[in-house]
A and B are shown apart, each in its own frame.
Chain A
């Protein structure tokens, strides 16, 4: 997959667990885990907004595109 999700790194930098993030953004741990492991096929703008607010970051910090 060419879109990389950097949820692991952002969580580690902020000392936050996946469960805490799930509580803050209102998304299930299962869905966040799908996103974290790169198995998500799409992400809603509302989810992205909630994640950026909870992690105090920009969409570009969370996602990046890798060629090939």
Chain B
């Protein structure tokens, strides 16, 4: 462990996880945009009313996985692909972006110093990002998934079903609130440090 940078090993670990995430997400997106365009669009129906039965399905839709209730559109239209991507892609992308923000924050903090008002402001921005962006993106995914389910069944699945599908990332909400508090503490510390350094 480096003695010079108190933010290690966090910076190193976050950088490694970011690199891995970018590679995995990039590969998954590339596969989706090439091979995936010729594959059926599959999505989970969290609140499926018919147990293991494939009833009330629209034409061209089949029940694929009984355990998770996965529905598949065998000959998807372009909008199926778009919604299919929106039902799975945004949250990993937002999480990767959060990791990128964290790495940039740690590198800036190592360069400028931990107890500076600029670092405190960056921590506050990351807190707001986790608190607002990740839950919103998760809701976008749920709306996309619910829209696919609506189009795949012949019965009324309910317009507010996406709230049930919404898997709110509580870890991000809690961490975001914690970071907002930490940012306030860091801002106070930065002001105390400036006072201390300005004392003759």
Q: Distance in Å from the Cβ of A43 to the closest Cβ of chain B?
A: 5
8 Å CB contacts to B: which residues of A21-42?
27, 31-32, 34-35, 39-42
B16 contacts partner chain A, Cβ-Cβ < 8 Å: no
Residues of B within 8 Å of A31, CB to CB, are 200
8 Å CB contacts to A: which residues of B142-200?
194-195, 198-200
Please report the C-alpha to C-alpha distance between residue A34 and residue B195 in the assembled complex, in whole angstroms. 13
Please report the C-alpha to C-alpha distance between residue A42 and residue B199 in the assembled complex, in whole angstroms. 4
Interface string of B53-88 (1 = CB under 8 A from A): 000000000000000000000000000000000000
Please report the C-alpha to C-alpha distance between residue A47 and residue B199 in the assembled complex, in whole angstroms. 10
Q: Distance in Å from the Cβ of B36 to the closest Cβ of chain A?
A: 60
8 Å CB contacts to B: which residues of A11-29?
27
Q: Are A44 and B199 in contact (CB under 8 A)?
A: yes
Please report the C-alpha to C-alpha distance between residue A43 and residue B198 in the assembled complex, in whole angstroms. 8
Residues of A within 8 Å of B199, CB to CB, are 40-44
Q: A30: nearest residue on chain B (CB-CB)? A: B200
Residues of B within 8 Å of A27, CB to CB, are 200
Q: A36: nearest residue on chain B (CB-CB)? A: B200
Q: A32: nearest residue on chain B (CB-CB)? A: B200
Q: Distance in Å from the Cβ of B190 to the closest Cβ of chain A?
A: 13
Q: B194: nearest residue on chain A (CB-CB)? A: A41
Please report the C-alpha to C-alpha distance between residue A30 and residue B195 in the assembled complex, in whole angstroms. 16
Please report the C-alpha to C-alpha distance between residue A47 and residue B198 in the assembled complex, in whole angstroms. 13
8 Å CB contacts to A: which residues of B14-36?
none
**Residue with the greatest number of chain A CB neighbours at <10 A, chosen from B194, B195, B198, B200:** B200
8 Å CB contacts to A: which residues of B101-143?
none
Q: Distance in Å from the Cβ of A58 to the closest Cβ of chain B?
A: 18
Q: Interface residues, chain A, CB within 8 Å of chain B? A: 27, 31-32, 34-35, 39-44, 47
Q: Interface residues, chain B, CB within 8 Å of chain A? A: 194-195, 198-200
* Given A34-B200, A42-B199, A43-B199; 8 other pairs, CB 8 A cutoff: A27-B200, A31-B200, A40-B200, A41-B198, A41-B199, A42-B195, A42-B198, A42-B200
* 21 pairs, A vs B, C-beta closer than 8 Å: A27-B200, A31-B200, A32-B200, A34-B198, A34-B200, A35-B200, A39-B198, A40-B199, A40-B200, A41-B194, A41-B195, A41-B198, A41-B199, A42-B195, A42-B198, A42-B199, A42-B200, A43-B199, A43-B200, A44-B199, A44-B200
- Enumerate the 9 nearest inter-chain pairs by beta-carbon distance, A residue then B residue, closest first: A41-B198, A42-B199, A35-B200, A40-B200, A31-B200, A43-B200, A41-B195, A47-B200, A40-B198
